[in-house]
Amino acid sequence: MVPIQMVDLKRQYLNIKTEVDEAIADVVKNASFINGKAVTDFSAQLGQFLGIDHVVPCANGTDALQIAMMALGLEPGDEVITPSFTYIATTEVMALLRLNPVFVDVDPRTFCIDPGKIREAITPKTKAIVPVHLYGQSAPMEEIMAIAKEFGLFVIEDNAQAIGATIQFSDGTVHMTGTIGDIGCTSFFPSKNLGCFGDGGAIVTRDASLADKMRMIANHGQQQKYVHEVIGCNSRLDTIQAAILEVKLRQLDNYIDARREVAERYDEAFASIPGVRIPFRADDSKHVFHQYTLILENASRAALQEALTANDIPSMIYYPIPAHKQQMFAAFGSSNTELPTTDWLTDRVISLPIHTEMDEEQQEYIIDTVNSFFGNKH
């Protein structure tokens, strides 16, 4: 059996090796390492995939969030409502810009931000909402957009884990995550559903003037060389990464299908285990399973991890310390925030290997190991 990994990037590469190698070689041959043709081409192709007009490539998903907040003119002291149950990048850019992150709780089923908690957290200082489409499932964007419209708030979607996911609104329209709010931000970190061979990210919007401003910020605050109109940063998607992403974007639908098939087999195997919750799928959302995350209501997570490790099966805790309990936010008073659902989930979630190259032998081995731990017959 091939050794099991959380994400098997080597086997994924081998399946597209010829195309990737040719794409990289073309960039090297032309020495177009910065702002080469592949960057423009990939941006256009990503926009077409998402059904959105403006794509601003950048260096990584964290930069994408920072540039978005800068472009919206958020100022020190402004409040931004966001979940604490997320990767730290979502919130650390707020601290960097001296914004005030207001942490709210999540839905215990979807792991995504709870609209009711958003409404409760709004104050005269609130300027934006940053929902996170965690693990590959859409946050409840129709409700979030309604709240944003009611209170005149910006919405920045953190779509780093859910590119290709969709959500259906009550009027029957289907929307791609990342394209619903004012701005959508994504990451192309190698382990993402659409990942490059290093760092990369993108920002998307339907607002042409906002797109122009984000391009300017990402390029040292300049539209014309050496004429710096605003404070900016240096955030580029390099040409080699864009060339790789062109190849992988053509496979993204297949990658999503493969992940969903793995998730379905896990669901079938684990649904009957008492005290174990399989991932919830909202009826209006297409889950793309960046992670396959179980909730252990009663069992020892540490003991399960130990059993998995003993059988050479990796597992991960996403995330062991929520943002509101991180020392970096102590100055913002976050340690006094009470988020019972977030705290409960933090102690109970565990993610199993899931990726595009997982074969049935590997998955059956994982399933048998988990079922054996719980004394469950499969």
24 & 51 share domain? yes
233 & 320 share domain? no
Domain boundary (226, 249, 272) is at 249
Domain boundary (249, 283, 304) is at 249
In a domain, 61, yes or no: yes
Per-residue pLDDT tens over the stretch 280-295: 999 999 999 999 999 9
In a domain, 3, yes or no: no
Query: What domain range is 320 assigned to?
Result: 252-374
Per-residue pLDDT tens over the stretch 150-161: 999 999 999 999
The 3-class secondary structure across the chain, one letter per residue, is CCCCCCCCHHHHHHHCHHHHHHHHHHHHHHCCCCCCHHHHHHHHHHHHHHCCCEEEEECCHHHHHHHHHHHCCCCCCCEEEEECCCCCHHHHHHHHCCCEEEEECECCCCCCECHHHHHHHCCCCEEEECCECHHHCCCCHHHHHHHHHHHCCEEEEECCCCCCCEEECCCCCEEECCCCCCEEEEECCCCCCCCCCCCCEEEEECCHHHHHHHHHHHECCEEECCEECCCCCECCCCHHHHHHHHHHHCCHHHHHHHHHHHHHHHHHHHCCCCCEECCCCCCCEECCCCCEEEEECCCCHHHHHHHHHHCCCCCECCCCCCHHHCHHHHHHCHHHCCCHHHHHHHCCEEEECCCCCCCHHHHHHHHHHHHHHHCCCC
Name the domain count of the chain. Answer: 2
257 & 234 share domain? no
In a domain, 189, yes or no: yes
> What percent of the chain lies above the pLDDT cut of 70?
99
In a domain, 2, yes or no: no
In a domain, 34, yes or no: yes
76 & 189 share domain? yes
Per-residue pLDDT tens over the stretch 181-238: 999 999 999 999 999 999 999 999 999 999 999 999 999 999 999 999 999 999 999 9
26 & 46 share domain? yes
In a domain, 4, yes or no: no
208 & 281 share domain? no
Q: How confident is the model at residue 135 (pLDDT cuts 50, 70, 90)?
A: very high
166 & 51 share domain? yes
CATH of the domain at 330: 3.90.1150.10
Domain boundary (249, 283, 313) is at 249
323 & 338 share domain? yes
244 & 293 share domain? no
321 & 243 share domain? no
304 & 367 share domain? yes
In a domain, 122, yes or no: yes
In this prediction, residue 10 carries a pLDDT of 96
157 & 187 share domain? yes
